[in-house]
Amino acid sequence: MNTVTVADEAAIQYAADLLRQGNLVAFPTETVYGLGADALNPSAVKRIFAAKGRPTNHPLIVHIASAHLLSDWAINVPDEAYQLAAQFWPGPLAMIVNKRSHIPNEVTGGQDTVGLRVPNHPIALKLLHTFGGGIAAPSANRFCRISPTQAQHVAEELGRAVELILDGGACQVGVESTIIDLTGKQPRLLRPGQISVTALEEVLQTKLLTVLSHETNQHIAPGMMAVHYAPSTPAILCSGADIDNMAETWIRQGKRVGKLLLQPSLTVSQEHDLCLPAQAEDYAQGLYAALRILDSWQLGVILIEQPPTSITWQAVNDRLKKATHRA
């Protein structure tokens, strides 16, 4: 596996050639790094599942170069899709629509629908334009692990399973795209992300359905599985008021404790404490890298200070819930 810092045309050409030959290329998007393959090449797509250790019935998002291509990939495209695309593409929004029949079952997990997204990252867009087709790409991590937000994370997760990693530095959004399902009677939120429910409802002029946890169906959206995005170290959410007492309790039990705190924090007292900004978008950007660092210290437990629960923190709280869920 090669890691290439992308500035020049040649690296993108090389990446596009690798995709044409059925290889895997990891590339940066504004959300997280994706593990890409030619979306119309079933054997290349199968390699994604093998590299990630992901069950084959978990559908992939197809990345496309522009909203103009929506009808190349989807049939019966609802007006809502065009309205959302006009407002949010390129950007961190994936839409589930009815798929065209030429999209391989390997991409969609055998479903009649497909997830589509135009990523807002110059390298991803350049790769899409140069390649000239759709790129099926899940997050470039092993199944159920934390998504990578830096090229180095991809190398650590996937090693030789990926032919090339395009290094575009740290991802700006830091958590995966918002997913909206437009195939039902009413639009449905499947995964919260930086684009909020409020912003979507404003464009659609209608309320979104939200899939409740008891309805969670990993076949529909494995991103909604309770255990996902998880560090290996047990992680626990607790309030800022309780976190020091909690830490003491664990330390008394002989555990090495790390904390993930909100800035500004007076409780950064231990060697293994990290702080993230108290602004939702900045926190989201740093979250996965911070969890990886905490995980690498092989602590007994990670205590995470509960951030605010307002709507702007919805995506962060969703990921923290998943990171701290124990089966």
**List of residues contacting Mg ion (CB under 5 A):** 139
- CB of 44 or CB of 179, closer to ligand TXA: 179
Closest CA to 134 of 39, 23, 70, 22: 39
Cα gap 24→161, rounded to integer Å: 8
- CB of 190 or CB of 247, closer to ligand TXA: 190
CB of 253 to ligand TXA, least distance (A): 35
- CB of 181 or CB of 295, closer to ligand TXA: 181
- CB of 95 or CB of 274, closer to ligand TXA: 95
CB of 149 to ligand TXA, least distance (A): 11
* Residue 58 interface partner, choices ligand TXA, Mg ion, none, CB cut-off 5-8 Å depending on type: ligand TXA
CB of 290 to ligand TXA, least distance (A): 18
Backbone angles phi, psi at 202, to 5 degrees: -65, -45
**List of residues contacting ligand TXA (CB under 6 A):** 29, 31-32, 34, 58-61, 92, 94, 96, 108, 111, 113-115, 117, 119, 137-139, 176-177, 179, 190, 220-223
CB of 61 to ligand TXA, least distance (A): 5
CB of 291 to ligand TXA, least distance (A): 16
Closest CA to 192 of 308, 312, 77: 312
Cα gap 106→110, rounded to integer Å: 7
* Residue 322 interface partner, choices Mg ion, ligand TXA, none, CB cut-off 5-8 Å depending on type: none
Phi-psi region at 287: left, alpha or beta (left = phi > 0; alpha = psi -120 to 50) = alpha
What residues contact residue 115 under an 8 Å CB cut-off, 6+ apart? 59, 60, 61, 62, 94, 95, 96, 179
- Return the ∠ at Cα 83 (arms to 80 and 89), rounded to 5°: 120
